Amino acid sequence: MKRETILNAVMVLGLFIVPLWAWIADEPFIITLTTKAAILALAGVGLNIALGIGGLVSFGHAAFFGLGGYAMGILASHAQSYAPIMESPFLIEGTKSMPVIWLAAIITSGLAALAIGALSLRTTGVYFIMITLAFGQMLYFFTISWPAYGGEDGLPIYVRNGFPGVNTLDPIQFYGVVFVILMAALFFTARLIKSPFGLALNAARQSSERVETVGINPYRLRLMAFVISGMITGLAGALFADLNRFVSPTMFSWQISGEIMVFIIIGGVGRLFGPVVGAVLFILLEHILGGLSDYWHIYLGVLLLLIVLFARGGVIGTLAGREASHD
Amino acid sequence: MTDPVLEVRGITKAFGAVHASKNITLDLRPGEIHALIGPNGAGKSTLIKQISGGLRPDAGSVWLNGEDVTPLPTPLRARKGLGRTFQISALAMEDSVLQNAVLGALGAHASPFQFFTKALSQKDLRDRAEQALDRVGLSAHADTRTSELSHGQRRQLEVAVALTLSPTAFVMDEPMAGLGAEGSQTLTTFLDTLRHEAPILLVEHDMDAVFALADRISVLVYGEVIATGTVDDIRQNPKVREAYLGEEA
Amino acid sequence: MSFILFAEQVLNGLQLGVMLFVMAAGLTLVFGVMGLINLAHGSLYMVGAFAAAAVAGLTGSFVLALVAALAAAAAAGALVEMLVIRRLYNRDHLDQVLATFALILIFSEGTRWIFGSFPLFLNIPDYLSGPVTLPGGIQYPLYRLTLIAIGLAIAGGLFLLISRTRLGIQIRAGENDREMIAALGVDISKLYTIVFALGAALAGLAGALVGAIQSVQVGMGEPVLILAFVVIVIGGIGSIKGALIGAILVGLTDTLGGVLLPELFKTFMDNAAASSIGSALASMLIYILMACVLIVKPTGLFGART
């Protein structure tokens, strides 16, 4: 536990210092890269609640990532075109305010996770993996065919959304917002793990029967975990869309679902900072290896394979050893 | 006659052509240990599953404290006071002994939907957990990872978790399985005192323990209860002797 | 809509269905016998298509191209099984998903490295091109009819294999109790490699056959893979019969839905809106179908009873 805490502290420090240095050295590209890593890490923090703690292998979390992104896209595009989304029975106008957009993203993905989870959690094992994948695909194909928001070509958002008191166009300030959100999510997850909910969810992953015979319904636990998980990943989607000022159906793709899972595994599944380590490594690899070779995905594939086969605990597992069994 | 704490009436269950439970009726009275014995394949596990809630009977009912719990799923039966231990330990192996015990206390006495407090810091849960561990003798191992416990210690933990429910009845599935002579003796003595807290429906193969502990014994053969009675009744019952020993009288 | 148009769409649905079956059969066999979920199945489909395109380009013979597809996919399958897959049999599903996902990355980029990013072309041979006139005045491409025939033949062949041959008995026994057949002296390692290679060969063949009517490019396998998963989830994992019925259901639903739904919407909406809403909904149809099946039967139509 001690080693893991040190590692976590190093990560937080790194995520704080590197962009600051980049700002001082006037390297906005590095700030943007770190922002991307932090947002992807947030998506992973979301999935890790369902996957790492709950043991739910959701291969369709891109559904929530995309929904968050499109919540942003739809609200922002209506704002920038000054056309309301709906006039009757309620007047719903677009908005370019980040907090409102985030709320919309969280609520939308939460509701979707409730619906998808309620259905999917009635299945187990491979069926669960497949049905979550299928729901992601469903949204992907729907978004491609729906012409209103760009369809396959996607939807560009010309101006970054606003956050009160912050100049969001300034890379370091936008990063600041993202950093705070990521830390808040990590703090929330840390509390969750130690809470009665976390204890029960984690136990349900290890033995459903045990949890039932002490009087807890595992289905409800998992559904709640799935919804929380979907909401956090949805928030990440909205931030991602804001970073790129672009939303497209690829945010719903199974490749994205797979990639988010890959970060978590590389970092260490079930570990608090697993998604953070994984996302940072992924971005580093993409940047460094990608510069060397066009085919860097091969190396990513080999790395992933080696980790799955031989270093199951991921980077954190290898460096920090076995998890302590309690706080 | 005092009302039974746990009752099954006319439990019947068939899997296709296999009649696993044929009109089984038996009860568990306060303060008693009622042993359920029978050769392999008799349908003991199927019956246990129907009592604890994991399997729906085709016909018949299960009553706990005078209430019909047949339509209730396992978690609700546990909350109403049915404590269960498993033949093959069902414990959260990665968690510590204390965490498993706190889980038990949580399930029976609090809601799992609390997100911000620390589970191990909740006084009520922790007290119950520690008391249960103390009673089975596992206090010294509270922080040990469950996977590192010996087989006998895991059996103890199973009982401790059941204790945290403050149950009104225990259903124990072969608690002696895999224990050596000393472990069995310790557990036997423990169960003997436990019966006064809550009666125990004890499924067992270990005949020494059964004859030492049981107030009543029911013998299950091919899904049917062929006899119910005291230890002496059962020992002398010709049907039972036939079922276990073949033609020997 | 005219009868002829409708009949054509039904045939298209059937053709999509049988090709999905060929893909799904390998997937469900591997899961049923070895308990392994294999995301790299789509890559084997792609390998078959590329091998066929390459050989067809060199020799001009479609038959040789198909043989090459079978051989290359089977070889790739056997190799992957021996190097990677066999380490995964005792692992949990998450590990299998991740490891085979890694294989997808390796195969896709590897293929792109060898063949480049542009699609290859595989042409329908002359003797199979052109339309055929069917009863009722329907003109239907001969090639697609051939695919339907090949698909059904493969289905028949698989049923015979499973029910009549020694290998089939081992497969069926293996699906029920792995440890038992090992105890009975069956060489599990070899059995697993054969089953995996068989599944791979089928995927490769499907890739080559379909590659002639679509294009042969990197990443062609994954959309088909996902459809194949939907098929085996609907049909029940481990069941070949389920795979066939599921595949035909999916093929027909997808094809007919894509055509009929916009038409349905046109009856009360203007054309443009009807087309877009109709096709958007049609694209979701098979997933809705899968969700409905799973609500009623959480392990699929012919899957193991829980």
Nearest chain A Cα distance for residue C245, angstroms: 18
Do A191 and B75 count as a contact with CB atoms less than 8 A apart? no
Q: How confident is the model at residue A117, as a pLDDT?
A: 95
Taking the Cβ of residue B168 and every Cβ of chain A, the question of whether any pair is shorter than 8 Å is answered with no
- For residue C276, the tally of other CB atoms under 10 A from its CB is 18
Q: What percent of chain B has pLDDT over 70?
A: 98
Question: Under an 8 A CB cutoff, do A197 and B100 touch?
Answer: no
Are B112 and A203 a contacting pair at CB < 8 A? no
Residue A244: alpha-carbon gap to chain centroid: 15
CB < 8 Å to B90, chain A: 207, 209-210, 213
Query: Is the Cβ pair C98, A265 closer than 8 Å?
Result: yes
- The verdict on B161 touching A (C-beta cutoff 8 Å) is yes
Q: pLDDT tens digit string along A136-185?
A: 999 998 898 887 888 888 888 888 888 888 888 888 999 999 999 999 99
Question: What is the distance between the alpha carbons of residues B129 and B123, in angstroms, rounded to a whole number?
Answer: 10
Chains that touch A (3 or more CB pairs under 8 A): B, C
By DSSP bridging, strand B216-221 and strand B33-37 are: parallel
pLDDT for residue C280 is more than 50: yes
Beta carbons of B143 and B98 less than 8 angstroms apart? yes
Subunits adjacent to chain B (3 or more Cβ pairs under 8 Å): A
Q: Test A325 with B116 for CB contact under 8 angstroms.
A: no
Taking residues A268-277, report their average pLDDT: 92
Lowest pLDDT segment from A54-63, B63-72, C286-295: C286-295
ipTM above 0.85, yes or no: yes
Tell me: pLDDT of A324 over 60: no
Is A305's CB within 8 Å of C87's CB? no
pLDDT of residue B132: 92
Q: Give the closest-approach CA distance of A324 to chain B in angstroms.
A: 9
B70-122 per-position pLDDT tens digit:
999 999 999 999 999 988 888 999 999 999 999 999 988 888 999 888 988 88
> Are C109 and A130 within 8 A, CB to CB?
no
User: Are residues C276 and A145, on separate chains, in Cβ contact within 8 Å?
Assistant: yes
Dihedral angle over CA of A54, A58, A62, A64, nearest 10: -50
Average pLDDT over residues B37-41: 83
The average pLDDT across A89-106 equals 85
Q: What is the mean pLDDT of residues C292-298?
A: 83
Sign of CA dihedral B52, B53, B54, B56: positive
Please say whether the dihedral angle defined by the alpha carbons of residues C172, C175, C177 and C181, taken in this order, is positive or negative.
positive
> Would the pLDDT of B247 be above 50?
no
For chain A positions 199-258, those within 8 Å of chain C (CB to CB) are 254, 258
**pTM of the predicted model as reported, rounded to 2 decimal places:** 0.91
The size of the A-C interface in CB pairs under 8 A is 121
Select the residue from B45, B82, B84, B106 to test the A interface by mutation, using most A Cβ atoms within 10 A.
B106
Q: What span, in angstroms and rounded, lies between the C-alpha atoms of B186 and B213?
A: 12
| Whole-angstrom distance, CA of residue B103 vs CA of residue B112 | 9
Where would I find the beta strands (DSSP E) of chain B? 6-15, 18-28, 33-37, 59-64, 67-68, 82-85, 169-173, 200-203, 216-221, 224-229
Residue of B nearest to A53 (CA): B94
CB pairs under 8 A between A and B: 125
pLDDT for C306 equals 42
What SS3 state is found at B219? strand
Question: B164 to chain A: nearest residue by CA?
Answer: A214
Q: Are A318 and A7 in contact (CB under 8 A)?
A: no
What CA–CA distances, in Å, run from A115 to A31, A72, A119, C287?
A: 37, 21, 7, 14
Q: Residues C260-270: pLDDT tens digits?
A: 888 888 887 77
Distance CA B58, CA B14 (A): 7
Report whether pLDDT(C285) > 80.
Answer: yes
Nearest-CA distance from B240 to chain A in Å? 32
A118 in reach of chain C (CB within 8 A) = no
CA-wise closest residue to C295 among A135, A120, A115, A138:
A120
Of C97, C106, C233, the CB nearest to A302: C106
